[in-house]
Amino acid sequence: MNGPRSVTEVGVVVDALTLGDLEVVGQITESSNVALLCEVTGDAAASAADLTGSPVHVIYKPVRGERPLWDFPDGTLAGREVAAFEVSRAGGWNVVPPTVLREGALGAGSVQLWIGDPFAPTDHGRPVDICSPRQVPKGWMSVVDGEISGGRAVSVVHENRDDVRDVAVLDAVVNNGDRKGSHLVRDQHGALWGFDHGVSFSAEPKLRTVLWGWAGDPLRDVDLARLERVRGQLDDPSSELATALSVLLTRQDRRALSGRVGSLLRSGRHPRPRGGWPPIPWPAL
């Protein structure tokens, strides 16, 4: 399924993910946590399928299948996945596929729309890649130089596009600790989507990403408007965003989120890598 963009489409898909029946059809074996591919069935799913013209597939990540991490409380990754969608939607980034927290075959977990056809390999362009350090393509930005197996020198590069920059700003807001290149995909219409936000929203600075091309650059007007929109909703306890986050994140994590938004607005610039924490995930792609 292609990602929904309009408010109506998002609402229909969220209803399908919340109310539909989850039929497990596969498992993502390379995932560090249990990640099950499911087809959503039922009346709500049929409405979503009619809207998009394709069946609704999702990734279901049960809380009980989360691998313990030293720097995140146990059983919180699913809530962080959903929180990333809520912040993306509230601010107007709209780059995180619809994601809900619900019960499934293995108990409570996050359920996120799968972008595209899970059974048909597709390549609609990769926004992050590697190339020779001396051959960075026009319209791309080099992030870091390194070596791959065999000693070949390469540069990790990403597209210099507005939608990729949108993700870089959102990652700074949610404090994404694992923005690999493979966590970004384009649907058949070219729309960019980002996923795997389970290690986000830490109260401690943990931004780790391959999208450093704009580090230190001034934020765009659209970035500032989105940040103001999020700040306004975080400051209003009755807002839809504040209400959702109150059950998805701890008070400490919510306070840190507000602090990051305020800091970005005050500086008016993309963050730079900080010392004391690896700035790029491994593997980068």
Q: How far apart are CA 14 and CA 123, in angstroms?
A: 26
Q: Does the structure show a pLDDT above 80 at 121?
A: no
Contact 194, 95 (CB under 8 A): yes
pLDDT at 151: 67
> What is the model's pLDDT at position 148?
64
Q: At what angle do helices 162-174 and 251-267 cross, to 10 degrees?
A: 130
Residue with tokens 């306070």: 255
Model's pTM, two decimal places? 0.92
Residues 179-184, mean pLDDT to the nearest whole number = 89
* The length of the chain, given as a count of residues: 285
Burial class (CB in 10 A: 0-12, 13-18, 19+), 121: exposed
Q: How confident is the model at residue 137 (pLDDT cuts 50, 70, 90)?
A: confident
Q: Which range, of 72-76, 218-222, 252-256, averages the lowest pLDDT?
A: 72-76
180 contacts: CB under 8 Å, gap ≥ 6: 128, 196, 210, 281, 283, 284, 285
Is residue 96 within 8 A of residue 115, CB to CB? The reply is no
